[in-house]
Amino acid sequence: MFLKIFEVRVGTIRSECKAISLFTSAVLTPSHTSETTMRQSPSTGMRRPSAPPSASSATSSLAIALMFSSLRFTPARAFAGSSPAIRRTSAAFLRRPARLSHIIGRSASTRGIARSASTRGGDGDFSTWTFEEPCGRMDWTAGPDFDLQVTSELGSDAAASSSVVVVGMYGPPKPEEGEEKEGVDEGEKPLPDLAGLAASLDAELDGAIGALLVENRKDFKDGSATGSSLPVLRVVQNGMMRRIIVVGLGPAGASEEDAAASNGKLGAALAKVLKDEKAVESMVVSLPEGGSYDLVRISEQLYSGLYVDNRFRSGEKVVDVAKDLKTVTLVLPGTSEEIEKGAALALGVSMCKDIVNAPPNILNPKSLADTAQQIADSSDGTMTCKILNVEECEKRGMGSYLAVGRGAEVEPHFIHLTYKPKSGDVKRKVGIVGKGVTFDAGGYNIKTQMMELMKFDCGGSAAVLGAARTVAASHPEGVEVHFIVAACENLINGRAYRPSDILVASNGKTIEVLNTDAEGRLTMADALVYADKEVGAEKIVELSTLTGACMVALGDKLSGMWTHDDDLAAELEASSKASGDKTWRMPLPAEYEDQLKSKIADIQNLGGKYGGAITAALFLNHFVDKKKPFAHVDIAGPVWDATTGATGHGVKLLAGWIEKQGKE
């Protein structure tokens, strides 16, 4: 007798949470059982029949239908209270990113960027993918819906009627080398230099802001501690509680690089205010005149700072952020176009975080390819998406890439997104390649530690698709961009590739496999050949979570960048400084090539004990024309934060570089 047990967890329709388990059983004859091939589910480990349904299984299905009918439930309704990640609602499934709106006049506004650009549409029925089929769609996060405005002048009633008022304050300039700092000795009362709204509020509150400056000088440093804030002043006026917060903008007269960092920290500080303070409907942010402000950076960090991944939470675990917020008004020079640009960057960062944070039973090559298709669908006709299946990859000779995916039940999906500006004016064609190993168990050289974190091994593809989402929203001119991801999983079964296998890449090079856990470079070998030969990209930039050796060298705040081309290195370094995605150029010594020599093949996939990040970069160079500008960026360190999860690193680096390519 073969007992089928179906358990369906049903969310409550009212405020309580209950679980209802439904059980059915069907008797299978011995002859039927012996003819049924058994298949193991990748997500549960259960072995289930793969033969066509028999009469007994049909009887079982009928029993399920009758039980749902008697309970006045349908299978779709049964999941109505479950986690958003396993729920489908038709309205959410059809939602697509809204067009960015403008408010013309003295003030400019962009409304609802974070929420309008989210897509909530998963494979709604848990059973459609858990036992038999892989998940085909990954949900996107939905952020708070509010109106972000910028204005050069603040109306007399705006601050008085706002729930929260934030005023920025520059600290004293940094003293020159050898010059003593004045007015900061312990116990000495500083003379705060308050201006504009800060001065008005201080007078209105009988010097309360000045008093806070004195009390908190150690941490706030008279405003020099960038992104820090004074304790919240809570004032009740006309029956309404107002909250006044002073935020430090760093030392006055800071360098361009320090000012860029300050703008990013300011945006993050504003997001923190909205996260920490409850029941905020409106916030006014007043900044001193004459400052070096970057509205793109401020707005991007404000939006990105409000990111919360609730896709896999339910009930009390759901974190509501800024749910009452309606407007945020920034008082500084700027335009709605700058806000839109910052919002487009935030969309890409959010997309990147969604991909890296998603668990491997949700995010796989199939659902990653679907995500790419959705990005193309939301691009207003500027993007096309092509997904190559295994047969199409075989025709191109992608033996290196396909070998890695042989051990997984979900087949490899080769993703190629193409962006072309509507104007048709293209000055340059570039290729962006990302490592898309959605889960890396190490293959037969199985990982002995940190395997639970190996969902972030798709961080390169996440940054690439995040940049694609930014490009889809911002529509840069003058550049044609090809986003390429060779998506697969590195798992184990009877067909998985083995140490000592010889693989043939699509450029004809043979590769001896010394370690199946050095798989990322194998997938990208064929992706790089595709970008170089089939696409004909004039420049290629590749991002990947490639080596732990890079983390040893640079830690978890910097990515490593390898290229033979000095001009390309300078371009990426400039984008790094402007975006805040920090990278550091690393060496490519020719003498390390000896570590990649194989006794029986053209090349081997692993170098010696030391310099692993360098030999990995040298390996990749074998699959791009030596005369073509090519850069490899290893983002293994900064892609993940042990406390907060995915960081979104790489999106702004790529997006900024892409935009510059169209302007050269």
Mind listing the domains of the chain with CATH numbers?
A: 1-82 (no CATH), 83-172+193-312+320-334 (3.40.220.10), 341-661 (3.40.630.10)
Tokens of 347: 């969309």
Mean pLDDT of all residues belonging to the chain: 81
Look at residues 578, 109, 659 and name the one whose alpha carbon lies nearest to residue 340: 109
> Does position 305 have pLDDT exceeding 80, yes or no?
yes
Catalytic residues: 447, 521
Handedness of CA 357, 360, 362, 366 (dihedral sign): positive
Is 551:636 a contact under the CB 8 Å cutoff? yes
Strands 108-111, 147-151: pairing is antiparallel
pLDDT class for 485, splitting at 50, 70, 90?
very high
Residue 64 sits at φ, ψ, to 5 deg, of -60, -45
Question: Cα angle vertex 57, ends 7, 77, to 5°?
Answer: 40
Q: What is the pLDDT of residues 68-91, one digit of tens each?
A: 333 333 333 333 333 433 333 222
pLDDT band at residue 43, thresholds of 50, 70 and 90?
Answer: very low
Q: Does 191 score more than 70 pLDDT?
A: no
Cα 232 to Cα 210, 242, 278: the distances in Å are 13, 10, 13
pTM: 0.80
Residue 323 and residue 161: Cα distance in Å, rounded? 19
Confidence of residue 109 (pLDDT cuts 50, 70, 90): low
- Rounded CA-CA distance 520/524 in Å is 6
Residue 39: count other Cβ atoms within 10 Å of its Cβ: 15
H or E stretch at 620 = helix 612-620
pLDDT at 153 over 90: no
pLDDT tens by residue, 638-656? 999 999 999 999 999 999 9
> Which phi and psi angles does 584 have, rounded to 5°?
-140, 130
Does the pLDDT of residue 45 top 90, yes or no? no
- 168-187 pLDDT, tens per residue? 988 888 766 555 555 445 55
**With 0-12 CB in 10 A as exposed, 13-18 as middle and 19+ as buried, what is 367?**
buried
Q: Is 338 left (phi over 0), alpha (psi -120 to 50) or beta?
A: alpha
The two beta strands, 510-512 and 539-544, are unpaired
The token duo for 622 is 């074998």
pLDDT by residue (tens digit) across 119-135? 333 433 333 455 667 88
As a whole number of angstroms, the distance between CA 152 and CA 127 comes to 55
Whether residue 52 is predicted with pLDDT greater than 90 in this model: the reply is: no
* 479 sits in which H/E element: strand 478-490
- Can you say how many angstroms the Cα of residue 443 is from the centroid of all Cα atoms in its chain? 26
Q: Which residue pairs from 224-227 have beta carbons closer than 8 angstroms and sit at least 24 positions apart in sequence?
A: 224/171, 224/172, 224/248, 224/250, 224/251, 225/171, 225/250, 226/250, 226/261, 226/262, 226/265, 226/266, 227/262, 227/265, 227/266, 227/268, 227/269
Residues 605, 586: Cα–Cα separation, whole Å: 20
The band of 508, judged by pLDDT with boundaries at 50, 70 and 90, is: very high
The pairing of beta strand 559-563 with beta strand 630-634: antiparallel
Interhelix angle for 612-620 vs 520-529, to 10°? Answer: 30
Residue in the structure block whose two tokens are 């190559």 = 388
How far apart CA 631 and CA 235 sit, in angstroms, is 54
Residue 262: alpha-carbon gap to chain centroid? 22
Q: Of 102, 107, 113, which is closest to residue 337 (Cα–Cα)?
A: 102
**Which residues in 295-382 belong to E strands, given as ranges?**
327-331
Q: Please report which confidence band the pLDDT of residue 202 belongs to, taking 50, 70 and 90 as the band edges.
A: confident
Strand runs labelled E in 19-67: 38-40, 47-49
